[in-house]
């Protein structure tokens, strides 16, 4: 599909046509910048509540991380609930912990309500290389149980064979409410749902300027939108449009490849069709596609640089897990950027009373972006209680400022990656 990364998803998307570019002056209740999960989720939430919505997308719906990710429905956040509660206090911790399954529920509700064809499969596995990681998973299960979430089940090494066939792991943790989807078809399906409710989406319409005042105006090269509210949902692809936001996150690139269709061989490697991510700091994540390819992701590059050698980087990881794939043809290899925060917890807030933002799911955003889209919608619709709790959380800047934050964070990742490799 033109305009998208050269991914398996773009090649197999349900919808291949593009939408019109913004021209002229339009008025709306809410203008949303960015047609990823966050922007489209917020737009759908608001359209369902009767608001008029215009979404401006620089490239195509799902062009960013949302249309090219691993497709893994990972519940919760990029930090565990006890860590979040310890950092932000019991009140915020209880609210955040209580919402940990909401994003996944929103996805499932929308897939059913709008009949979205995105190959939704239930079940996710966190795989452990060491007994120390198994202890971490057991702790994770217990923490989630203390928040009333009981979908997690420990699996020992023998039990693992029903889910993933490799010698790499000593055990794992199944999340029965995890799962996977074709992410581009999900975001495109949600976009179509938004349009069915009267929402307008313009593609190839990068926003070049925003007046964040009492009567916000959002400008593109050929038009402008005058809105009562603006939601900034550009995440790692926003660049320097709003420097205040650019300093809060770091774009990080991760890579995915797709094998050729493998027929029954794919099911022999992943018999229960769960998606898998391992417990390492720099983790591998993989799953079967609907047409029985293995989609294998991993690796990170700080600073948003695209990897020129995705195959060289990811194939050794894949073959370590699944040596039998040594002769498998690789049909697609692509990379994409997510937005990292120092705390790995997303940030929401207001740039002015009428301009809100949300970003920084830090690599686990398929579910959380859906939750945050709902919170943005609630805030605009006059029920800001949950949004306000998140917006009030303290913000921690990356150490090293603009010049040194990338090397310092990369150094941290290298250190934790080394610990993983040494098994300590
Ligand atoms: C390769 C990869 C694999 C991943 N795998 C997983 C996974 O398996 N599970 C998981 O939970 N998370 C995963 N993630 C993270 C997850 O995909 C993201 O957290 C999530 O999709 C972010 O959604 P978003 O809507 O906030 O941002 P994006 O999807 O990046 O959307 C932002 C949109 O804003 C647009 N935009 C930016 N600037 C402008 C502008 N000036 N004007 C108009 N539009 C603009 C961009 O073009 C883009 O389409 C992965 C990320 C990547 C990159």
161 and 27 both lie in a single domain: no
158 and 45 both lie in a single domain: no
Closest ligand 1 atom, residue 334 Cα: 1
Structural domain includes residue 114 = no
**pLDDT, tens digit (0-9, with 9 covering 90-100), for 109-167:** 999 999 999 999 999 999 999 999 999 999 999 999 999 999 999 999 999 999 999 99
* Backbone dihedral angles phi then psi of residue 316, each to the nearest 5 degrees: -60, -35
Q: Is the pLDDT of residue 10 over 80?
A: yes
321 and 404 both lie in a single domain: yes
Higher pLDDT, 243 or 414: 243
Q: Could you tell me if 320 and 296 are in contact, meaning their C-beta atoms sit under 8 angstroms apart?
A: no
Range of the domain at 59: 1-109+182-244+344-393
Q: Once rounded to an integer, what is the mean pLDDT over residues 239-255?
A: 91
**pLDDT at residue number 192:** 98
Q: Which residue has the tokens 């009562």?
A: 228
Structural domain includes residue 116 = no
CATH number of the structural domain spanning residue 125? 3.30.9.10
**pLDDT at residue number 309:** 75
165 and 189 both lie in a single domain: no
204 and 300 both lie in a single domain: no
Instruction: Tell me which range, 13-22, 401-410, 415-424, is most confidently predicted by mean pLDDT.
Output: 13-22
Structural domain includes residue 115 = no
Q: Is the pLDDT of residue 102 over 50?
A: yes
- Cα of 68 vs centre of ligand 1, distance in Å, is 8
333 and 349 both lie in a single domain: no
CA distances (Å), origin 215, targets 230, 351, 354: 10, 13, 8
User: Which residue puts its alpha carbon closest to atom 9 of ligand 1?
Assistant: 72
Structural domain includes residue 349 = yes
Q: Once rounded to an integer, what is the mean pLDDT over residues 402-409?
A: 61
* Backbone dihedral angles phi then psi of residue 138, each to the nearest 5 degrees: -65, -40
**pLDDT at residue number 304:** 46
- Cα of 102 vs centre of ligand 1, distance in Å, is 19
Question: Which of 3, 7, 66 is the best mutation target for the ligand 1 pocket, counting ligand atoms within 8 Å of the beta carbon and taking the most?
Answer: 66
235 and 254 both lie in a single domain: no
126, containing H or E segment = strand 121-128
123, containing H or E segment = strand 121-128
Closest ligand 1 atom, residue 275 Cα: 8
- Cα of 135 vs centre of ligand 1, distance in Å, is 32
Closest ligand 1 atom, residue 208 Cα: 41
Closest ligand 1 atom, residue 241 Cα: 41
Q: Is the pLDDT of residue 295 over 60?
A: yes
- Cα of 298 vs centre of ligand 1, distance in Å, is 16
Q: Is the pLDDT of residue 371 over 90?
A: yes
DSSP per-residue letters across 315-340: HHHHHHH-GGGTTPPEEEEEEEEEEE
Contacts of 293 (CB under 8 A, 6+ apart): 8, 258, 259, 260, 261, 262, 266, 331
**pLDDT at residue number 418:** 53
256 and 330 both lie in a single domain: yes
17 and 68 both lie in a single domain: yes
Q: Once rounded to an integer, what is the mean pLDDT over residues 285-304?
A: 87
Handedness of CA 368, 106, 114, 198 (dihedral sign): negative
Question: Which of 363, 367, 374, 377 is the best mutation target for the ligand 1 pocket, counting ligand atoms within 8 Å of the beta carbon and taking the most?
Answer: 363
* Number of domains the chain is built from: 2
The three-class DSSP label of residue 264 is helix
Structural domain includes residue 88 = yes
Position 410 confidence tier, pLDDT thresholds 50, 70, 90 = low
Which residues sit with their C-beta closer than 6 Å to ligand 1?
A: 33-39, 56-59, 63-66, 68-72, 74, 206-207, 233-238, 241, 254, 256, 285, 297, 336-338, 361, 363-366, 369
- Cα of 235 vs centre of ligand 1, distance in Å, is 6
For residues 169 and 201, what is the distance between their CA atoms, to the nearest angstrom?
Answer: 45
83 and 25 both lie in a single domain: yes
Rounded to two decimals, the pTM is 0.95
């Amino acid at each position: 599909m033109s305009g998208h990364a050269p991914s398996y998803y773009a090649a197999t998307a349900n919808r291949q046509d593009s939408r019109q570019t913004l021209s002229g002056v339009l008025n709306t209740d809410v203008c949303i910048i960015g047609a990823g999960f966050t922007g489209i989720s917020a737009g759908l939430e608001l359209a369902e509540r009767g608001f008029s919505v215009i979404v401006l997308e620089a490239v195509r719906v799902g062009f960013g991380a949302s249309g090219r990710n691993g497709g893994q429905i990972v519940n919760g956040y990029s930090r565990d609930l006890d860590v979040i509660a310890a950092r932000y206090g019991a009140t915020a911790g209880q609210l955040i912990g209580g919402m940990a399954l909401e994003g996944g529920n929103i996805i499932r509700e929308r897939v059913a309500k709008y009949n979205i064809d995105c190959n939704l499969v239930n079940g996710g596995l966190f795989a452990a290389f060491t007994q120390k990681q198994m202890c971490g998973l057991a702790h994770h299960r217990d923490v989630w149980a203390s928040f009333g979430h009981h979908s997690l089940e420990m699996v020992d090494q023998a039990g693992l064979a029903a889910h993933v066939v490799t010698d790499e792991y000593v055990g794992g943790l199944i999340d029965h409410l995890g799962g996977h989807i074709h992410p581009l078809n999900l975001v495109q399906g949600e976009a179509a749902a938004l349009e069915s409710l009267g929402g307008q989406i313009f593609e190839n319409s990068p926003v070049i300027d925003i007046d964040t005042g009492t009567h916000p105006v959002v400008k593109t090269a050929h038009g402008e939108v005058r809105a009562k509210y603006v939601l900034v949902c550009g995440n790692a692809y926003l660049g320097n449009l709003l420097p205040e936001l650019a300093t809060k996150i770091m774009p990080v690139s991760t890579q995915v490849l797709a094998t050729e269709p493998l027929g029954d061989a794919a099911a022999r490697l992943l018999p229960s069709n769960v998606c898998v991510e391992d417990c390492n700091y720099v983790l591998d994540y993989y799953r079967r596609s609907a047409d029985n390819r293995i989609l294998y992701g991993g690796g990170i590059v700080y600073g948003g640089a695209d990897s020129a050698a995705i195959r060289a980087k990811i194939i050794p990881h894949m073959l370590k897990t699944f040596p039998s794939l040594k002769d498998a043809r690789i049909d697609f290899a692509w990379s994409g950027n997510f937005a990292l925060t120092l705390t790995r917890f997303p940030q929401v807030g207001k740039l002015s009373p009428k301009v809100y933002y949300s970003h920084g799911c830090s690599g686990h955003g398929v579910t959380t972006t859906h939750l945050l889209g709902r919170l943005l919608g609630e805030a605009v619709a006059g029920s800001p209680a949950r949004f306000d709790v998140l917006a009030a959380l303290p913000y921690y800047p990356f150490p090293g400022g603009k010049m040194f934050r990338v090397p310092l964070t990369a150094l941290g990742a290298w250190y934790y990656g080394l610990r993983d490799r040494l098994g300590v």
